[in-house]
Amino acid sequence: VLFRSGVRCDVQAELVGILRCFVLGREIRPLAALDQIGTPTTATWQLLDMITVEFTESGAKSRDVQITLDKYMEKRELKDRKEARKQVTKDLELLRVSAINFTEPRKKGEPQGYYKLNISSGAGISKSGVITFSFSDKFHFPLTIIVLTLNNSY
């Protein structure tokens, strides 16, 4: 997990842990073209960690998070800008189409109901190397509550 100074690490660690547990525990699954995009890797989770850290540092004021490609490369200790951009593009696309699936189990047979919650409403990287990730409205709200709650409890 990657942390930055300026925000208490305990709050960042708690949010990253909650977010990872929530996402992993609820089976994060890309909605479309999984075979074409791939599956989450360590780099994908590191990017999500960086996005989460930036989100907490902003005080959860905006659902849009921006990180420069240079900062991403520095945190991941990467040297090749072209390969880093390629990796970020792949990971952003994977996160952009990912959803958390909730199902209502039945005693017998198939689940009765379900709900898919996209974690992102958009993601991309600019020509100048600014990585942008936007949490979906329905995912941003609980994250904001978590950040505010954790900030008040520490």
- The reported pLDDT for the residue numbered 50 is 92
Dist CA 114 CA 104 (whole Å)? 6
Q: Yes or no: say if 69 and 85 are a contact pair by the CB < 8 Å rule.
A: yes
**In the predicted model, what is the mean pLDDT of residues 48-56?**
87
* Predicted pLDDT at 45: 84
Please tell me which residue, 118 or 129, carries the higher pLDDT value. Answer: 129
* C-alpha span between 79 and 70 (Å, rounded): 10
The whole-angstrom separation of Cα 96 and Cα 79 is 25
What percent of the chain is modeled with pLDDT above 90? 31
Quick one: CA torsion of 121, 22, 86, 51, rounded to 10 degrees?
A: 70
Quick one: which H or E segment has residue 4?
none
State pLDDT tens for residues 67-107.
Answer: 999 999 999 999 999 999 999 999 999 888 877 766 666 66
Q: If residue 84 lies in a helix (H) or strand (E), which one and from where to where?
A: helix 81-96
Range with top average pLDDT, 7-11, 22-26, 125-129: 125-129
45 or 152, which is more confident: 45
